[in-house]
Amino acid sequence: MPGLTPAELDELLTFTTALARTAGELILEGSQAIQQASASDIGEKKNSVDLVTEYDVKVEELVKREIAAAYPTFQFIGEESYSAGSRPPLTDAPTFCVDPIDGTTNFVHAFPFACISIGLIDQRRPVLGVIYNPFLDHLYSGVAGHGSSLSRAGGAPQTLPLAPARPLPSLSQALVAVEWGSDRTAPAVTKKAESFTRLAGDPARGIARGRMAHSLRSIGSAALNFAMVAQGGLDTYWEIGCWPWDVCAGIVIAQEAGGFVTGGKDAPHDGDVTEGILTGRKYLVIRAIADTEGETGLEAQKRIAREWYDTVEDVPLDG
Ligand code: IPD
């Protein structure tokens, strides 16, 4: 099966962008409703921190319906459909990969960093992504081979990263994003806490292998963490335990902004997001880094990936 052509991707970008904005209106409506709702309107999936609302389901239904009408032959993988038992295997066919509300916890708490994330996979590789945060009216998009951009408050798209790439000598100079995720079992929480301690801690003040990064951030949305790395506001983002729909769109946007995306500690760190990495639930993304004398930006990104995995613990995946 031949892959999508540049002209088809261009048309798909127009479609996906409009769809993300429509979904954004429903997310904003949902936010108003959720702030008036009672606790019993907020559901739990795997545990009491893995939240779902009727709006996650409503937004996914809307998106799924519009996609089926416009692209009836395309496959669909969505967070809520997956939870409801629809788990089609990935094939070479074009496949939308959608998180209707990424950052559901933020959505429930009225912390304005939640978004719709619409990715498109073709030939088993992410090729297009649109991430829309309707609370801030920030729309990120990217198409393989055609760059990525950010449009704020309906303004003209600005190419990503927003400023020319800078060097990154080591993690000690980095602003890094991490997330606790929803697996709160002892092995996951302990290993993440050890990792966060080393990233933040001062090696000269008792933290063995401490990197003393500038600081650690958690936006609470994997998609928006990826987008912020693409933008250049974060140097790295690492998470274990999120899912392809959380990251699919962000992978394209980050890569097209010169970012380096890889998987867990044992993945080949060559920047190729294979099916194994896309579905592996372990992700590290590093922003574009400028070439310096004696080191290309790509070499620097691989060096930072090695430093990262010399620092953090691997974390077992939950079921
Ligand atoms: C979650 C968010 C969060 C990340 C979790 C994801 P959801 O997605 O992206 O930042 O830490 O791993 O599951 O549940 O809000 O769609």
Element (H, E) at 261: strand 260-262
Average pLDDT over every residue of 132-137: 98
Which pLDDT belongs to residue 53?
A: 86
Residue 104 known to be catalytic: yes
Q: Residue 222 pLDDT more than 80?
A: yes
Helices within 144-279 (DSSP H only): 186-200, 222-231, 244-256, 275-279
Positive or negative: CA dihedral 250, 251, 257, 262 = positive
Q: What structural domains does the chain harbor?
A: 6-159 (3.30.540.10), 171-311 (3.40.190.80)
Residue with the two structure tokens 């929803």? 182
Backbone phi, then psi, for 6, in 5-degree steps?
-55, -40
Cα 219 to middle of ligand 1, angstroms: 10
Helix orientation angle between 222-231 and 244-256, rounded to the nearest 10 degrees = 10
Non-local (6+) Cβ contacts of 21 within 8 A are: 132, 134, 139
**What's the rounded Cα separation, in Å, for the pair 119 and 131?**
8
Tell which atom from ligand 1 comes closest to the C-alpha of 104.
Answer: 15
**Ligand 1 pocket check: which of 242, 248, 281, 283 to mutate, most ligand atoms within 8 Å of Cβ?**
242
Residue 16 known to be catalytic: no
The whole model's pTM is what? 0.97
Q: Which two tokens stand for residue 147?
A: 């760059």
Confidence of residue 1 (pLDDT cuts 50, 70, 90): low
Query: Is 209 in a helix, a strand, or coil?
Result: coil
Ligand 1 binding pocket, CB closer than 6 Å? 79, 99, 102-104, 179, 181-182, 220-222, 239, 241-242, 246
Confidence of residue 283 (pLDDT cuts 50, 70, 90): very high
The residue whose C-alpha atom lies closest to atom 13 belonging to ligand 1 is: 242
Please say whether the beta carbons of 84 and 77 come within 8 A. no
Residue 95 known to be catalytic: no
> What is the per-residue pLDDT across 195-205, written as a single tens digit (0 to 9) for each?
999 999 999 99
Average pLDDT over every residue of 298-304: 98
Residue 94: CB atoms within 10 A of its CB come to 21
Q: In what order do the strands lie in the sheet with 260-262?
A: 215-217, 175-178, 236-240, 282-286, 260-262
**What's the rounded Cα separation, in Å, for the pair 232 and 209?**
26
Residue with the two structure tokens 């996906």? 16
**Ligand 1 pocket check: which of 131, 219, 246, 318 to mutate, most ligand atoms within 8 Å of Cβ?**
246
Which pLDDT belongs to residue 319?
A: 65
Average pLDDT over every residue of 215-240: 98
